[in-house]
Structure 1
Amino acid sequence: MIVSTGFAVIRPKEGLHAGFAGYLLQSDGFVGEVVANSVGVSYPAINASALVRIAVAVPPLEEQQAITRFLDCKIAQIDKLVVRQQRLCERLAEYRAALITNTVTGKIDLRRFETLQKNENINK
């Protein structure tokens, strides 16, 4: 779904792997060129003629496929790590909330903590 008044449909031609094209269009170099060639203040946009003039390096098809496989694999690994970290953050937030609740309701005995804290101050 596209929610915009301006967009460009970019279809890969023969010799350009669709997955590679997708990554290429997300690359800093390509995005930088689009931004540099955009006009307008409140809604900057690039016109079609400027868009098609952006030069990009396109390796042979086999290399494009290898690059796409590599990026797909690495991005999948990164996405799994991100999900794992998000779950960890959620669990830590739950633990934090439970800790606060249990402490302010007296379910946690703070006398031992105060003793440990005094010992730490003595050892400094």
Structure 2
Amino acid sequence: MAIMEREGATGTYRPGNEFDLGAGLTYALGAMGSFSNVSPLVQLIATDRHTDGGTASSPSSGFRRLMVAPGIDLRVKKLKIYADVSLPLVVNTTVPAATPANIAAGVVGQLVPSVIWRLQIGYDF
């Protein structure tokens, strides 16, 4: 067994746990044009992400958010195409106050995506 560790890495870093919960509605419109089924949909997605831990972890890495994700599910015979875009309704981050000490320590700022695009293509065999 071989273990390789990057210089400066201590191996104690651990991403924070994340819990996602989603609920949605869809409505099958049936066949339209060359599509065998068209279904518009909307979802609400809640996320609770805890802060990272260990060496070099950022105390401003956790967040809670609620997103709305309108989308569409298309079928062409055995081909499936699903697309949606998740837009934030509420975002609550764990960013510490922007005090001079926190700025000097580099613990301000938050990396939370403002929009999430999703495209899935599948085929039924």
TM-score bracket relative to the smaller structure: under 0.3
What TM-score comes out, normalization by structure 1 length? 0.20
Q: Name whichever structure is richer in helix by fraction.
A: 1
Larger radius of gyration: 1
What TM-score comes out, normalization by structure 2 length? 0.20
